[in-house]
Structure 1
Amino acid sequence: MNIHKRIQNAALHPKIMPAAQAASLIPLGANVGMSGFTGAGYPKAVPQALAARLSALHAAGQTHASINLWTGASTAPELDGVLAKAHGIQMRLPYQSDPSCRQQINAGQMRYTDMHLSHVAPMARAGFLGTLDVAVVEVVGILPDGRMMASTSVGNNQTWLDLAQHIILEVNLHQNPALEGMHDMAHNMPMPPHGQPIALTHPSERIGTPYLQADLSKVMAVVITDHPDRNSAFDAPNEVSAQIAGHLIDFLQDEVQAGRLPPSLLPLQSGVGNTANAVLAGLNQGPFDQMTAYTEVLQDGMLDMLRSGKLSCASATALSLSPTALAEFNANIDFYRQRIVLRPEEISNHPELIRRLGVIAMNTMIEADIYGNVNSTHIMGSAIMNGIGGSGDFARNARLSIFMSPSVAKGGKISSIVPMVSHHDHTEHDVHIIVTEQGLADLRGLAPTQRARLIVERCAHPSFRPQLLDYMDRAQRSGAGLHTPHLLDEALSWHSRYLKTGQM
Structure 2
Amino acid sequence: MSDATRIHCPKLRKKVMTAEAAAALITAGSNVGMSGFTGAGYPKAVPGALAERIRQHNAQEGNKPFRINVWTGASTAPELDGTLAEVDGIEMRLPFQSDPICRDRINTGKMDYVDLHLSEVSQNAWSGFLGKMDIALIEVAGIREDGSLIPSSSLGNNKTWIEQADKVILEVNSQQNAKLEGMHDVYYGTAMPPNRKPIMMTHPADRIGEAYLRCPAEKVIAVVETNSMDRNSAFKAPDAVSIKIAEHILEFFQKEIEIGRLPKNLLPIQSGVGNIANAVLEGLNDGPFKNLTAFTEVIQDGMLKMLKSGTLEVASSTAFSLSPEGLKEFNENIDLYREKIILRPQDISNHPELARRLGIIAMNGLIEVDIYGNVNSTHIMGTRMMNGIGGSGDFARNGYLSIFVTPSIAKDGAISSIVPMVSHVDHTEHDVKIIVTEYGLADLRGKSPRKRALEIINNCAHPDYREQLMDYFERACNSGGGMHTPHLLGEALSWHQRYEETGHMKPKN
What are the Cα deviations for residues 75-101 of structure 1, in whole angstroms up to 9, with x where unaligned?
001001110111100000000000000
2:402 alignment partner in structure 1: 401
What are the Cα deviations for residues 126-163 of structure 1, in whole angstroms up to 9, with x where unaligned?
11111000000000001111111000000000000001
Amino acid at match of 1:374: V
Mapped partners of 2:270, 2:195: distance in 1: 29
* Gap regions ≥5 residues in structure 2: none
Amino acid at match of 2:388: G
Amino acid at match of 2:25: L
Asked if 1:18 corresponds to 2:18, the answer is: yes
Q: Given the two structures, how large is their TM-score scaled by the length of structure 2?
A: 0.98
1:104 alignment partner in structure 2: 105
1:498 alignment partner in structure 2: 499
Mapped partners of 1:189, 1:218: distance in 2: 22
5 Å-filtered alignment, 1:282-293, equals 282-293=283-294
Asked if 1:180 corresponds to 2:202, the answer is: no
**CA 1:108 to 1:487, structure 2 compared with 1: closer, same or farther past 3 Å?**
same
Structure 1 residue 420: Cα displacement:
0.2
What are the Cα deviations for residues 355-408 of structure 1, in whole angstroms up to 9, with x where unaligned?
000000000000000000000000000000000000000000010000000000
**Secondary structure of 1:463's aligned partner:** helix
Tell me, yes or no, if the aligned pair for 1:91 and 1:110 is still in contact at 8 Å.
Answer: yes
2:257 alignment partner in structure 1: 256
Structure 1 residue 63: Cα displacement:
5.0
**Secondary structure of 1:387's aligned partner:** coil
Amino acid at match of 1:14: K
**Secondary structure of 2:299's aligned partner:** strand
**Secondary structure of 2:5's aligned partner:** helix
Structure 1 residue 2: Cα displacement:
7.3
**Secondary structure of 1:168's aligned partner:** strand
**Secondary structure of 1:189's aligned partner:** coil
5 Å-filtered alignment, 1:366-385, equals 366-385=367-386
Structure 1 residue 188: Cα displacement:
4.4
Asked if 1:445 corresponds to 2:470, the answer is: no
1:126 alignment partner in structure 2: 127
What are the Cα deviations for residues 422-481 of structure 1, in whole angstroms up to 9, with x where unaligned?
100000000000000000000000000000001000000000000000000000000201
**Secondary structure of 2:154's aligned partner:** coil
**Secondary structure of 2:248's aligned partner:** helix
Q: Given the two structures, how large is their TM-score scaled by the length of structure 1?
A: 0.99
Amino acid at match of 2:37: F
What are the Cα deviations for residues 47-70 of structure 1, in whole angstroms up to 9, with x where unaligned?
000000001111013352010000
Asked if 1:77 corresponds to 2:78, the answer is: yes
Structure 1, 276-285 or 421-430: larger mean CA deviation: 276-285
2:214 alignment partner in structure 1: 213
Amino acid at match of 1:52: E
Asked if 1:425 corresponds to 2:426, the answer is: yes
**Secondary structure of 1:402's aligned partner:** strand
Structure 1 residue 5: Cα displacement:
3.4
Tell me, yes or no, if the aligned pair for 1:233 and 1:322 is still in contact at 8 Å.
Answer: yes
What are the Cα deviations for residues 268-287 of structure 1, in whole angstroms up to 9, with x where unaligned?
00011111111111111111
Asked if 1:53 corresponds to 2:41, the answer is: no
Mapped partners of 1:358, 1:231: distance in 2: 31
Tell me, yes or no, if the aligned pair for 1:136 and 1:170 is still in contact at 8 Å.
Answer: yes
Tell me, yes or no, if the aligned pair for 1:404 and 1:436 is still in contact at 8 Å.
Answer: yes
Mapped partners of 1:196, 1:390: distance in 2: 22
Structure 1 residue 183: Cα displacement:
0.2
Amino acid at match of 1:122: Q
1:142 alignment partner in structure 2: 143
Mapped partners of 1:420, 1:234: distance in 2: 32
Identity %: 63
Tell me, yes or no, if the aligned pair for 1:142 and 1:149 is still in contact at 8 Å.
Answer: yes
1:241 alignment partner in structure 2: 242
5 Å-filtered alignment, 1:297-308, equals 297-308=298-309
Structure 1 residue 231: Cα displacement:
2.3
**Secondary structure of 1:183's aligned partner:** coil
* Gap regions ≥5 residues in structure 1: none
Tell me, yes or no, if the aligned pair for 1:38 and 1:231 is still in contact at 8 Å.
Answer: no
Mapped partners of 1:303, 1:400: distance in 2: 23
Mapped partners of 2:173, 2:421: distance in 1: 47
1:203 alignment partner in structure 2: 204
2:35 alignment partner in structure 1: 35
| Matched pairs, number | 504
